[in-house]
Chains A and B, each alone.
Chain A
Amino acid sequence: MKSHKSDDTPHQEQLFIDPLIHVPTRFRILSNLYLVGWVDFLFLRNLTGLTKGNLSSHLIKLEEAGYVLIKKEFVNKISRTTISLSDSGREAFNLYRKNMKIMLDEIPE
């Protein structure tokens, strides 16, 4: 039987849910970066409540995917790591939000 939905309506099976973002901890990290231009590593740790090692490993994965930009710098001779969302990371995050919303809307109440 043919579907009644038009072809331009996204179906659940067509929606791409990025597995890299779908991990709750990574979503939390990306949410915070989405809301602020950049944060330093310490501030992000306080926001997410993650340990240093845990946050580092997630950030490295996100950096490898090109979703975050990690910059190491010296401010008044003190080293600091700043993290920001890249353009492709912002795009991927917005797509994830959009697709998740469509998926949740399609679930019958």
Chain B
Amino acid sequence: MNAEKELKKARQNLYRTMTMDGIADISIGMIFISLGGFVYIDSYGALFIAIIAMLAPLTAILRKKIVDPRIGSYDADSFLQEYDVDPRFTYFGIAFLILGVAVGLMVALGVSIPAFIGDGALIIVGLLVAIAISMFGSYTGIKRLYLYATTLLVLFIHGALQNYPTADGMDIVRKALGAHILIFGATILLSGTVICYKFLQEYPIAENSENEIS
């Protein structure tokens, strides 16, 4: 028996079990929809912030009332705290940080992005984010993350191919960005809703005796 391989399987199984109710997807979908809505409309910021702020306590209540009676509960606070984080995530985090600092410096110093990068910048960023999501999918064994990564990449490529005006038409760019975020959020929300429905069908509320050692 290879203990490390078995432990990896257990970790992936744990991630899948913890997310098989679809509630996390619904919450994340709602966050993107709120953000996309705010970017698109460019007002009602307080309303969107309120929706996002309400999601954390709402998720906790839903888990307690719907999920725990069906599949049991666990200590979420200490989850994986002693387990080694995959070093690839550290490398990717550092790469994103360097990229962010570089872009920030270029904007601050007024340095224009070279044309050959500028044309494909959106696709490069989309690709990096999609790879990061896919890597997390591979690490956790949650296969639907590949769907989210693909959706995101398609949206980034679509956005890059539109050739939106950047100088005079910021409003068009903002609305397009908002619409893309909305579509991404709707995809995650829809997926989460289907998963949640299937979960409720598959797992009835367990009897009290089921949670007792015999």
- Taking Cβ atoms with an 8 Å cutoff, the residues of A that contact B are 22, 24, 27-28, 31-32, 34-47, 52-53, 55-56, 59-60, 70, 72, 78-81, 84, 96-97, 100-101, 104
Asked if A97 meets B3 with Cβ closer than 8 Å, knowing A41-B72, A47-B17, the reply is yes
* CA of A22 to CA of B2, assembled, Å: 10
Query: A46, B72: Cβ atoms under 8 Å?
Result: yes
The count of chain B contact residues (Cβ–Cβ below 8 Å) is: 30
Q: Is the CB of A31 within 8 A of B10?
A: yes
Distance (whole angstroms) from the CB of B20 to the closest CB of chain A: 9
Partner of A81, one of B11, B14, B211: B211
Instruction: Give 1 or 0 for each of B71-82: 1 = CB within 8 Å of chain A CB.
Output: 111110111111
CB of B4 within 8 A of CB of A97, answer yes
Contact partner, A53, options B6, B7, B74, B214, Cβ 8 Å = B214
- Give the residue name and chain of the B residue nearest to A28 (CB): B10
Query: Could you name 5 residue pairs across A and B whose Cβ atoms are closer than 8 Å?
Result: A37-B74, A37-B75, A43-B71, A80-B212, A96-B3
Hey, which chain B residues are within 8 Å of A36, CB to CB? 14, 74-75, 78-80
CB distance from B99 to the nearest CB of A (A): 32
Query: How far apart are the CA atoms of A68 and B189 in the complex, in Å?
Result: 39
Cross-chain contact B77 with A37 (CB below 8 angstroms): yes
B138 on the interface (CB 8 Å rule)?
A: no
Q: How far is the CB of A41 from chain B (nearest CB, A)?
A: 5
- Contacts known (A27-B1, A36-B79); A42 close to B213, Cβ less than 8 A: no
A23 to B185, CA, bound (A): 44
Add 20 more A-B contacts to A35-B7, A35-B83, A56-B214 (CB < 8 A). Answer: A28-B10, A32-B10, A32-B14, A35-B79, A36-B14, A36-B75, A37-B75, A37-B77, A37-B79, A39-B75, A42-B72, A43-B17, A43-B72, A43-B74, A47-B14, A52-B214, A79-B212, A81-B213, A97-B7, A104-B2
